[in-house]
Structure 1
């Protein structure tokens, strides 16, 4: 008797007995009919629509659902609050309990193949069938071990190892932060950083009281940038400081109020004070069109230094001055330094953001208000309330 070889099942994709059999539920079967009625459109459009329709159905069929379980970016200041920690702990415990219940149900369903009834009603009906029931229980036990192995060997889509390492790093940070709970919320202001930089006077002594003034900057038709406070070194450069103070007070027809900032070099300096033309080619002083440079005893050692702008190659000044955004000691013995910013370093940062590498600022910025501070304790007690 000749035994015929068993035929290989035909492939669901290519239709041949190629051995690459794919279960029915895992195969995609393209549509043979488009969404148009065949005789209502042209043959070309009919084929094109059928092709696009099958392409869309194939993408939907091959779509997979991935869970984004990347470690979250945790904010320490948020989680240091006790009630938030307790709330998150309770929620994590609740999720853990739900996961355990779900896992128990999944294992139970997999063991019984969908039947969740664990009672074997036929176990003691007939003693003669005990061997049969025993073999059946052995098979169930083997099936349970197989399912358990599959569950243990399953690999998730999300990076579990990276998430565990990130959580350990976060716990380490939390333990370290708990030792210094107040230090997390302490921030060093820009003004404190500015004051900690080297002094502009070096070893020179203070011989008299130094007046203080303020300048407010604003974008034309836009943002109010803020106020800076300036300490003027009248004990070292009295002539230059007197010229600056008189133009601030507005006693003359010309003054700094409304004067544009005609140049801002990003992260280096700004230039303003052209009270006649507003473009950096003019200027005036209370002593006439210009006056001689006084001395170069003060230095450009840090950001926030105010110094006069030299007129061309001559050693003369008028009303134009500049404010530095960094150490500009290459200007020493070129520009006369007469003051420094003592409050409002954040305003300098804003002004620098409107700068270019050369030329005019990105927006028209001008001095909206300016003046001298009164000789009182408003600066210390009321944060410049009277200014």
Structure 2
């Protein structure tokens, strides 16, 4: 549906007023397009000395030069050994290790062993303070008392074990089925 032009300000000729308003709007849009930002939103300048890091490259080159120098020296030594067969044979088969304090350590070990044997002898010669045979008899009497006052027979849990296991299996099945349906 066509709507008639309605100027904001009064005008004698609506056609001319519409053209003028359109020109004013175009001029406004052109100025908005050409407007420059007051705030600088450009990315900062990139300086090459921040990205290349010449000192780091120099240190790396020096490290590589040292490694190459060490490798060259090792190669020269290996070549000399290969040409001459080496100078010294360091393998000596008739050498046996000697310790300066071997006898002292041996005497210390003997002393500790004798002390341990003496402690063991004292422990074994001492009569026990508690009578374990008396305790075992008292335990048997206490078990009889417990059997007299219990609600269930002595081995009721072993007869119910298969029933309890079946109940646990059924509960596990129900839990698994609930989990499967909830997913």
- Shared fold (TM-score, shorter chain, > 0.5): no
TM-score (norm 2): 0.27
User: Hey, which of these two has a bigger chunk of helix by percent?
Assistant: 2
User: Hey, which of these two has a bigger chunk of strand by percent?
Assistant: 1
TM-score (norm 1): 0.15
Structure with bigger gyration radius? 2
